[in-house]
Amino acid sequence: MGFITVENIRVFSHHGCLPEETIIGSNYRVDLKVEADLKKSSFSDKLKDTVDYVMLNAVVVREMKKPSNLLEAVAARIICSVFEACPLVQWASVSVAKINPPLGGDVEKVGVVLEERRS
């Protein structure tokens, strides 16, 4: 088993509970880490034998485009979509962070981290 990471995916999205958050939008950062059996690809050197990180990035970008009230819902959608898109993935962890959230203070970011093992 091994891990593949796609880090600091930067997207502009419209998530939040406040109406202005979904209208104005915000910058987000997403980090994704997946666990899979990488032994075959380690020897074959073939993309078809591994988890394609281009596909992982595309899943994140696609799911971030769908507005949600909570970052938890976005993170859960990302994990579900990763499992659907790649049968090799056995475990996934995703961090979704809103940059400069509207909290009325000097806060760099707020975020959630979800982890799930394929059932």
Tell me, yes or no, if the pTM score tops 0.85. yes
* Domain 2-117 grouped into CATH 3.30.1130.10: yes
Longest dimension (CA), the chain: 53
**What does the block give as tokens for 28?**
């987000």
The answer to whether 95 touches 72, Cβ cutoff 8 Å, is: no
Give the span between the Cα atoms of 16 and 25, in whole angstroms: 9
The answer to whether 69 touches 15, Cβ cutoff 8 Å, is: yes
Give the span between the Cα atoms of 76 and 23, in whole angstroms: 23
pLDDT in tens, 17-65: 888 888 889 999 999 999 999 999 999 999 999 999 999 999 999 999 9
Of 68, 54, 64, give the one whose Cα is nearest residue 29.
Answer: 64
